[in-house]
Structure 1
Amino acid sequence: MASVWWIWPRLSVRTWPAIAGRVGVLLGNQILTLAALALLLNNYFGFYSSWGDLFGTNGSIAAPIVRDDQNVDPAQEPAGKVQIISSAHVPLITREGDTGGRLQRVVISGATSRLSSPAYVYLPPQYFEKKYATTRFPVILALTGYPGDAGNLVTRMNLPTLAAKAIDRNEMVPTIMVLMRPTVAPPRDTECMDVPGGPQVETYFTKDLRESMAATFRVGTEAANWGVLGGSTGGYCALKMSMRHPEAFSAAVALSGYYKPPIDSTTGDLFGGSRQLKDQNDLMWRLGNLPHPPISVLVTSSKKGESNYKATLDFLDAVKPPMQASSLILPSGGHNFNTWNREVPQALPWLAQQLHMPDGGTSSATPTPASSPSS
């Protein structure tokens, strides 16, 4: 801005170069202002984590970072399709000195889809206790919106600490969480589906993820042991994948989700020209034309400030047994982290309470029922 004040008087003469210079200065100021605004919006919503993420040059593999836990021996890490990059304690503020478990930065690869993606895995403190040494745990997959950054689930939504506190208060049984973004094949927005001739993202989440996690961690492998939670695009993915694959997920939470995938420059042609495939990924079409799956879902919206409010009511009205639907409707809110942070303290325990400890697993914790979300 200071340079504009310095150069503007020098461009005040009535010559073509000076006029062109003034136009250039004005255009430059507009571009810089828009760039600053875009940067502020990106920092707030967490759309892209880097320039490489924006332009699709990062690939899908996270670069290794320095391990921040000197007690972890890489030679002792379990072999499998999950590469553990780093591990850190999750603080539990309720009791000084106690740990809320561990958060591991990982890369999860899929054998069938041949896709890999960075992620975080939250392991509750019970995972490391002797009395749980043979226990397998239920799992919640948490997804961001598009394009998203899995780190936002840690830094902006604080999911590991919220889970640790809920477990400590007996609102949740000890539960493992996998924190990811739905953009497994960046920069394309696949809406979590197997694209004809393209990335097989639905297979990655509904098949590969479970197999890779089971090869590395003590997790349950039945649908009753797995739930999925997501915001925006992640919310649509959570509903879609549980409805299409009740053998993979028995429960889902959609925070400000939508009910059919958009088609735009970020998605390209998701259906390969198939009307049948397009219908099958439209959740309202599924409710109107296919048997309802035996799953439980929770959808959220706001009466003022969210564009999905009417569509959410229509979705709730269309659900029939054996599918069960609950809702969490705020008086006002928006399509942003502030709104989701108001919903997650109820939504996360609700989802955990829909899941079952795997057969043969034991837990001394009996969850205290959370407030039942309702419209």
Structure 2
Amino acid sequence: MGLTSNKMLVVVVVLALALFVGTVWHWPRLSRRSWRAVGGRVGLLFATQLMVFASIGLAANQAFGFYATWTDLFGRERGQGVVVDHGAAGAGGGPLQVVGTQQVTVPGGSRPEIGGQIQKVEIVGRTTRIASPAFVYLPPEYFQARYRTRTFPASVVLTGYPGTAEALIKGLQYPQTAHELAGDGRMQPMILVMLRPTVAPPRDTECVDVPGGPQTESFFAKDLPDAVTAHYRTGGRPRSWGVIGDSTGGYCALKLAMHHPDVYAAGAGLSPYYRAPIDPTTGDLFRGNKDLRNRADLGWCLKRLAAPDTSLLVTSSRAGEKGYRSTLAFIRQVRTRKPTRISSILLDSGGHNFNTWRREIPPALQWLSGRLGDR
């Protein structure tokens, strides 16, 4: 049974309940002071608490999408996500392959022309040789005959670290929210390309082109848009693409929009930070390259480099977010750097979690939609 399966959660919850009932039932028999009785009490209490904590952990993982598999959880996922074998053109070896489809959980979702469709895809970077799974949400209009020649704006949607792409669908409900907003006329129909920034698991590469390692920034700046545009009816102009993400994904979104305004017309960071960290999950990202380290610091970029012609959105909360003050400082800094434009969503309270981001995603998608267009 998979780590995120409902069956696994049900089994563990049932075991926890059974152990709790068994503990209450057998406790009188184990009330003696013999070593055997004491050992029985310790064993039952330990097993019961273990199952309770496992139930809570599995439920939290399903809600927040921290880990996708058991190997991911125990840090045994070591593959670097690098592909060297590219099929020939026309032989089914394109940069994007659809490997499955699923309906959007909205009324009429079984019909793509009403509910849209989510396609699971495998993307292979032509230049970076990075391979990454993703989910692509196609709006209902994509399947309607009257829009058969229309191109659609697209947005890359990124999780935090470690995160799972499934959490963008189940936990943060991006397709459902986009469907509702477009249906109400509050945003234009948009293609969403949903994936995690962890393209070389278990390493957190912070969307950096690591010297001698994964060229993550180049994958998101060139290979990913090229692969999606080659397969779907997306626009090819800079105003056709946006990027949005939370936490690590929020930092990546801002950085991609700032470093590549010729690709991304807008970037939205939900609870972002503004400088790539160096810790055990990242390893040495820069290999002593000072220029690369400075470029990964968004504040440094605003001070020392030409201001990019792009639009940025940042979110935070006055109470509950440790990055609130740094977000205010970033806003002040961007306001002095034309032609870069800055907007914000500042909540009175909210933590670094899915509940807060679900409150911010609808206005963030509306904001993003208003800055993209390709008809």
The TM-score range, normalised by the shorter chain, is: 0.7 to 0.9
Deviation at 1:57, TM superposition (A): 2.8
- Partner-residue secondary structure (3-state), 2:115: strand
Alignment of 1:181-260 (within 5 A): 181-260=196-275
Task: Give the Cα separation in 1 of the matches to 2:103 and 2:144.
Answer: 15
**Pick aligned residue for 2:276 from 261, 267, 282:** 261
The answer for the alignment partner of 1:353 in structure 2 is 370
Deviation at 1:114, TM superposition (A): 0.7
Task: Give the Cα separation in 2 of the matches to 1:37 and 1:168.
Answer: 36
**Pick aligned residue for 2:101 from 81, 84, 87:** 87
Deviation at 1:45, TM superposition (A): 2.3
| Aligned 8 A contact 1:56 1:186 in 2 | no
Matched, 1:57 2:74: no
Alignment of 1:226-375 (within 5 A): 226-319=241-334, 320-357=337-374, 361=375
Q: For 1:202-251, what per-residue CA distance to the aligned partner results, in whole angstroms no more than 9, with x for missing partners?
A: 11111000111122111112221100000011000000111111122110
The answer for the alignment partner of 1:68 in structure 2 is none
Q: For 1:125-150, what per-residue CA distance to the aligned partner results, in whole angstroms no more than 9, with x for missing partners?
A: 22122332222211110011101111
Normalised to the residue count of structure 1, the TM-score between the two structures is 0.82
Alignment of 1:123-202 (within 5 A): 123-202=138-217
- Partner-residue secondary structure (3-state), 2:132: strand
- Partner-residue secondary structure (3-state), 1:126: helix
Q: Structure 2: which amino acid aligns with 1:49?
A: A
The answer for the alignment partner of 2:130 in structure 1 is 115
Q: Structure 1: which amino acid aligns with 2:319?
A: K
Q: Note closer, same or farther for the CA distance 1:60–1:134 as it changes in structure 2 (3 Å cut).
A: farther
| Aligned 8 A contact 1:11 1:22 in 2 | no
- Partner-residue secondary structure (3-state), 2:134: strand
| Aligned 8 A contact 2:268 2:313 in 1 | yes
Task: Give the Cα separation in 2 of the matches to 1:250 and 1:346.
Answer: 17
Q: Note closer, same or farther for the CA distance 1:153–1:96 as it changes in structure 2 (3 Å cut).
A: closer
Q: Structure 2: which amino acid aligns with 1:57?
A: E
Normalised to the residue count of structure 2, the TM-score between the two structures is 0.82
- Partner-residue secondary structure (3-state), 1:99: helix
Q: Structure 1: which amino acid aligns with 2:122?
A: V
1 or 2, which has the higher helix percentage?
2
Deviation at 1:41, TM superposition (A): 3.9
Identity of aligned residues (%): 46
| Aligned 8 A contact 1:79 1:215 in 2 | no
| Aligned 8 A contact 1:60 1:118 in 2 | no
- Alignment coverage as a number of residue pairs: 342
User: Relative contact order, CA 8 A, sep 6+: which one is greater?
Assistant: 1
Task: Give the Cα separation in 1 of the matches to 2:51 and 2:101.
Answer: 39
| Aligned 8 A contact 1:100 1:165 in 2 | no
The answer for the alignment partner of 1:43 in structure 2 is 62
Deviation at 1:157, TM superposition (A): 1.3
Task: Give the Cα separation in 1 of the matches to 2:127 and 2:234.
Answer: 20
Q: Note closer, same or farther for the CA distance 1:299–1:11 as it changes in structure 2 (3 Å cut).
A: farther
Q: Structure 1: which amino acid aligns with 2:321?
A: E
Q: For 1:311-339, what per-residue CA distance to the aligned partner results, in whole angstroms no more than 9, with x for missing partners?
A: 00000000021000000000000001100
Q: Note closer, same or farther for the CA distance 1:263–1:216 as it changes in structure 2 (3 Å cut).
A: same
Q: Note closer, same or farther for the CA distance 1:312–1:32 as it changes in structure 2 (3 Å cut).
A: same
Q: Note closer, same or farther for the CA distance 1:313–1:32 as it changes in structure 2 (3 Å cut).
A: same
Task: Give the Cα separation in 2 of the matches to 1:57 and 1:95.
Answer: 34
Moved more, 284-293 or 233-242: 284-293
RMSD of aligned C-alpha atoms? 3.0
Task: Give the Cα separation in 1 of the matches to 2:136 and 2:80.
Answer: 17
Q: Structure 2: which amino acid aligns with 1:348?
A: L
Q: Note closer, same or farther for the CA distance 1:92–1:36 as it changes in structure 2 (3 Å cut).
A: closer
- Partner-residue secondary structure (3-state), 2:104: strand
Unaligned runs of 5+ in 2: 1-18, 82-89
Task: Give the Cα separation in 1 of the matches to 2:63 and 2:106.
Answer: 26
